[in-house]
């Protein structure tokens, strides 16, 4: 543990990418530094000292200057040898994650990384076993759990608002432009299977920990993964073939008898409250949660609907829902989890989002693609090391 220190060094590899720059650096670690460091249980603050690592010297230098960071490097091996930096963070493309994490563990660094942990379950379990044997701290990003909307939903579940939960219906996604007339919002590697792309691998990692933490363990699933847009334009203006799925439509069965329908698509236009919505229906009430907001309808406030399409709509169904007010101010989800991981390293505070948890997300994605290829529903075995 490092609770006696005033600072702790963090190597950030792949930080010039979209997620690394925006969510992890600018919205998480820089604000933690500006606040004087992460607050520990003994009242002390420990400041993250950052080393930016990547392949593009120009981008690294510009990002370091913008964020007021003194050190950056294009040499990962040299960075890992530096004893001043005890934590390695990996935000590289998925296809590069396994070798980067292995090198960091071999160098004796605690490791925190973006999901998915790996492209396949065998590699994810290998990393989980290596990390456990090393005795080092290890963690995976599971940011959706810390979104305000889902935290409100979790509180409703814990308070027994729903009674028995019957079903969940989820919608995620938006139209990602092809990159010709309008710039694409996501990097081109997301649409190439050979580079670790695909919405199933990307989003099933999220849905696994969301479902398990909120509703229960998935014991069976069926899925259909598709590539709706066959060609896109990359960052250099070149047209390329899309080899990875850009939409997946899935049905999950939970151990407790509840079911979840989940649509995930980068080829859909948003006609709902948010980019992600989860409607939860229970015997005593329902709720719809988005990224930040959550609204509810209790049993006693549920209108008595009667089917008659020959009449004008007699009920304003949307008016029968009430917003859930925030009990407190919620910070950026990535920042919250970074603070948790730093406390985990510095004072052994609890951190359940370890590499085994990350491997479960890879397992669900792998089984989703298996189901899609076979046209059959598949069981989801319990995972252990």
259-296, pLDDT tens digit by residue? 999 999 999 999 999 999 999 999 999 999 999 999 99
- pLDDT tens for each residue of 171-209: 999 999 999 999 999 999 999 999 989 999 999 999 999
Q: Does the pLDDT at position 4 exceed 60?
A: no
- pLDDT tens for each residue of 58-78: 999 999 999 999 999 999 999
The per-residue pLDDT for 200 is 98
- pLDDT tens for each residue of 200-238: 999 999 999 999 999 999 999 999 999 999 999 999 999
The per-residue pLDDT for 99 is 96
Do residues 132 and 105 lie in contact, with contact meaning Cβ atoms separated by under 8 Å?
no
Q: How many residues does the chain have?
A: 385
pLDDT band of 5, cuts 50, 70, 90: low
- DSSP code at position 190: G
Q: How far apart are CA 194 and CA 307, in angstroms?
A: 50
pLDDT band of 356, cuts 50, 70, 90: very high
Sorted by where each starts, the structural domains of the chain and their CATH numbers stand as 7-143+333-353 (3.40.50.720), 146-328+364-374 (3.30.360.10)
Q: Does the pLDDT at position 3 exceed 50?
A: no
pLDDT band of 1, cuts 50, 70, 90: very low
- Retrieve residue 370's tokens: 């298996």
pTM: 0.94
**309/225: higher pLDDT:** 225
pLDDT band of 155, cuts 50, 70, 90: very high
Upstream peptide bond of 104 is cis (omega within 30 degrees of 0): no
- DSSP code at position 222: E
Q: Does the pLDDT at position 311 exceed 90?
A: no
Do residues 264 and 248 lie in contact, with contact meaning Cβ atoms separated by under 8 Å?
yes
What is the secondary structure of 64-83 as a DSSP string?
A: HHHHT--EEES-HHHHHH-T
Task: Kindly list the distances between the CA atom of residue 293 and the CA atoms of 43, 202, 206, 271, 273, in Å, as whole numbers in the listed order.
Answer: 32, 24, 19, 16, 9
- pLDDT tens for each residue of 13-63: 999 988 999 999 999 999 999 999 999 999 999 999 999 999 999 999 999
Do residues 348 and 92 lie in contact, with contact meaning Cβ atoms separated by under 8 Å?
no
């Amino acid at each position: 543990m490092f609770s006696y220190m005033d600072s702790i060094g963090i190597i950030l590899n792949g930080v010039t990418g979209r997620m690394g720059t925006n969510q992890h650096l600018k919205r998480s670690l820089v604000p933690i530094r500006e606040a004087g460091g992460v607050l520990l249980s003994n009242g002390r603050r420990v400041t993250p000292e950052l080393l930016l690592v990547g392949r593009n010297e120009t981008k690294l230098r510009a990002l370091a200057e913008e964020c007021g960071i003194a050190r950056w490097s294009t040499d990962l091996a040299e960075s890992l040898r530096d004893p001043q930096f005890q934590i390695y963070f990996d935000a590289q493309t998925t296809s590069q994650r396994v070798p980067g994490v292995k090198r960091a563990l071999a160098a004796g660094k605690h490791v925190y990384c973006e999901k998915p942990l790996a492209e396949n379950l065998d590699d994810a379990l290998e990393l989980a076993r290596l990390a456990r044997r090393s005795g080092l701290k290890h963690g995976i990003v599971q940011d959706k759990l810390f979104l305000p909307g889902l935290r409100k939903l979790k509180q409703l579940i814990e308070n027994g608002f729903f009674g028995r939960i019957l079903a969940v219906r989820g919608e995620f996604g938006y139209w990602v432009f092809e990159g010709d007339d309008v710039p694409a919002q996501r990097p081109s590697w997301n649409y190439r299977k050979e580079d670790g792309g695909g919405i199933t691998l990307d989003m099933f990692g999220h849905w696994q920990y969301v479902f398990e933490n909120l509703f229960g363990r998935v014991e069976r699933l069926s899925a259909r993964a598709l590539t709706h847009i066959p060609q896109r334009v990359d960052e250099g203006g070149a047209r390329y073939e899309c080899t990875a799925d850009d939409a997946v439509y899935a049905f999950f069965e939970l151990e407790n008898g509840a079911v979840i329908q989940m649509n995930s698509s980068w080829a859909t236009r948003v006609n709902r409250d948010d980019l992600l919505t989860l409607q939860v229906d229970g015997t005593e009430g329902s709720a719809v949660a988005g990224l930040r907001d959550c609204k509810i309808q209790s049993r006693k406030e549920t209108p008595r609907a009667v089917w008659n399409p020959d009449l004008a709509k007699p009920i304003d169904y949307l008016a029968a829902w009430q917003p859930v007010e925030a009990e407190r101010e919620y910070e950026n989800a990535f920042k919250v989890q970074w603070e948790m991981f730093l406390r985990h390293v510095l004072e052994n505070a609890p951190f359940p989002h370890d590499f085994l948890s990350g491997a479960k997300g890879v397992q669900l994605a792998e089984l989703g693609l298996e189901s899609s290829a076979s046209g059959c529903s598949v069981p989801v075995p319990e995972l252990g090391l």
